[in-house]
Amino acid sequence: MTLFEKALPFWRRGPRDMLRRAAQSALAGVAAYFVMSSLNSQETFLAVLSAVLIIQPSVGGTMGAALTRLQATVTGSLISLGCITLLPDVWGTSTALALSLLVVGGVAGLRPDWTYGAVAAVAIALAPEAVALETAGARALAIGLGAATGVLVSLLVWPDRAEARFDRHFRSALLATATRLDDALEAATERGREAAPPDHVSNYQKALQQAQEALGAVKLLDCAAMQRRLEALRRLYNSVIILDRAAEADVAPLSGNSHLTNEVRTLRRKTCDVLRALAEEKWKPEQQTGQIDAALKSLRAALAEDDPRSELHQNRNALAFGLHEVRKALAELIDVCQSRT
pLDDT surpassing 80 at residue 248: no
State the pLDDT at residue 207: 93
CB neighbourhood size of 222 (10 A): 8
Say yes or no: 204 and 73 in one domain: no
Say yes or no: 147 and 225 in one domain: no
pLDDT surpassing 60 at residue 43: yes
Q: Which domain, by its residues, includes 268? A: 162-339
**CA 176 to CA 270: how far, in whole Å?**
16
pLDDT surpassing 50 at residue 314: yes
Say yes or no: 9 and 139 in one domain: yes
Say yes or no: 201 and 315 in one domain: yes
Say yes or no: 185 and 150 in one domain: no
Look at the chain and report how many structural domains it folds into.
2
For the segment 104-125, the average pLDDT, to the nearest whole number, is 89
pLDDT band at 333 (very low <50, low <70, confident <90, very high): very high
Out of 156, 189, 212, pick the residue that ends a domain: 156
Question: Which residue, 125, 118, 126, 116, is CA-closest to 146?
Answer: 116
For the segment 45-64, the average pLDDT, to the nearest whole number, is 94
More confident residue, 312 or 326: 326
Say yes or no: 76 and 15 in one domain: yes
State the pLDDT at residue 320: 85
pLDDT surpassing 70 at residue 92: yes
Of 45-54, 191-200, 277-286, 309-318, highest mean pLDDT: 45-54
Instruction: Report H helices in the chain.
Output: 3-13, 15-38, 44-53, 59-86, 92-110, 117-126, 132-156, 162-190, 199-216, 224-247, 258-279, 290-305, 311-339
Say yes or no: 196 and 310 in one domain: yes
Say yes or no: 179 and 324 in one domain: yes
Enter the pTM of the model.
Answer: 0.82
- Pick the range with the lowest mean pLDDT from 115-129, 165-179, 214-228, 254-268: 254-268
Say yes or no: 177 and 129 in one domain: no
pLDDT surpassing 60 at residue 193: no
State the pLDDT at residue 131: 83
**What value does the mean pLDDT of the chain take?**
85
Out of 111, 140, 156, pick the residue that ends a domain: 156
Cα angle: 128, vertex 132, 135; to 5 degrees: 110
pLDDT band at 196 (very low <50, low <70, confident <90, very high): very low
**CA 327 to CA 305: how far, in whole Å?**
23
Say yes or no: 172 and 119 in one domain: no
**CATH code: domain of residue 219:** 1.20.58
CA gyration radius, the chain = 28
Out of 130, 156, 182, pick the residue that ends a domain: 156
Say yes or no: 133 and 227 in one domain: no
pLDDT surpassing 70 at residue 37: yes
Say yes or no: 94 and 212 in one domain: no
pLDDT surpassing 70 at residue 285: no
For the segment 135-160, the average pLDDT, to the nearest whole number, is 93
State the pLDDT at residue 55: 96
How much of the chain, in percent, has pLDDT values that exceed 70?
89
